[in-house]
Amino acid sequence: MKSGNGHIVCVPGQRICEVSGNILAGEGTYTFNKYIYASLAGQVTVVPTEDGQVVKVTLGRQGTVMPEAGSVVTCRVLSVNPNQATVLIICVGSNKLHSPVSGTVKKQNVRDYQIDTRCTIVFVQMTLF
């Protein structure tokens, strides 16, 4: 799909092109079954390199921050049950998000001495699942 300014816009999981000898996947993309797919919603850019071309996807809005492994996020607790807490992610690091993102904090990922702590705002360090 093209945006109003002529750039190609994609969504996560959208197939962009076929991998070939001189076309490789870059940031914001992944390969599966000899095709390059978008892992982000944003604009597709093709960057020439010495070995050919690299296909990248960059976020549509500058300054958009997404949580990733190792990020410290500030969350508002919405609900708690015996196994997990449902939260709204408000900040990633020191950057406030334009709109909150929902998330889940599982009991096994909370330190033992923090399980019984009552609060409405929590700080969470993201890990890989």
Q: Which CATH architecture has domain 9-59?
A: Beta Barrel (2.40)
The pTM of this model reads 0.47
Residue 129: predicted pLDDT: 45
Q: In this predicted structure, what is the pLDDT of residue 113? A: 55
pLDDT of 40: 84
Q: What is the pLDDT of residue 36?
A: 94
Strand partners, 77: 87
Question: Which residues of the chain are under the pLDDT cut of 50?
Answer: 1-6, 129
pLDDT score for 111: 65
HEC assignment per residue over 34-76: CEEEECCCEEEEEEEECCEEEEEEEECCCCCCCCCCCCEEEEE
Q: Are 26 and 55 in contact (CB under 8 A)?
A: yes
pLDDT of 8 = 80
